[in-house]
Amino acid sequence: MADPIPIANPSECEFFEDNSFVREGPLWLLHFGAYGETALYVWADGCESAFEVATEWLDDNASGHLVSFDESDYRAAADELGLEWLSSWPDYSDPDFERVAEHAEADHTMIGHTTLEHGTHVASWEWGLREVEKNSDEWRAVAERSRELEAEAEAS
């Protein structure tokens, strides 16, 4: 039997389970990775919040999905664009460097809500999410498991 899909924040179940003010979600299934897929449930009030919680979980539990860019990446992008590397770079106020950064970071989703230890981006083609239909069998199973995990955490 395969391990169950992890729940990033089981303690949030009770808040989101009966919250009538939540318009989206509040249970999301996210997946990361082109080959060695990591799936993850997240309780959140929207897809952006779910992504934020998931990337923080990835940083602690599956950091290989996170990507960072360094000067060599930006230098390569400048070469591809036919721009000479300037000693003042990186300088995001310089429109040419901004073009370089956009080129280097193309097809990556920026993680701008927090500072992570293992990366600043996720490859856009390597992640996705779907909203879990409220009160579906899947929803009820994840809610039950969330309550069990929370009870275990409180007991220890």
Query: What is the pLDDT at residue 2?
Result: 63
Q: Are 16 and 26 in contact (CB under 8 A)?
A: yes
| Whole-number Å distance between alpha carbons of 87 and 70 | 15
Low-confidence ranges of the chain (pLDDT < 50): none
pTM: 0.85
Instruction: In whole angstroms, give the CA distance from residue 144 to residue 136.
Output: 12
What span, in angstroms and rounded, lies between the C-alpha atoms of 120 and 58?
Answer: 12
Contact 66, 120 (CB under 8 A): yes
What pLDDT, on a 0 to 100 scale, did the predictor assign at position 124?
Answer: 93
| CB 59, CB 67: distance < 8 Å | no
pLDDT for the residue numbered 20? 61
Q: At what angle do helices 71-81 and 95-104 cross, to 10 degrees?
A: 110
Distance CA 137, CA 107 (A): 35
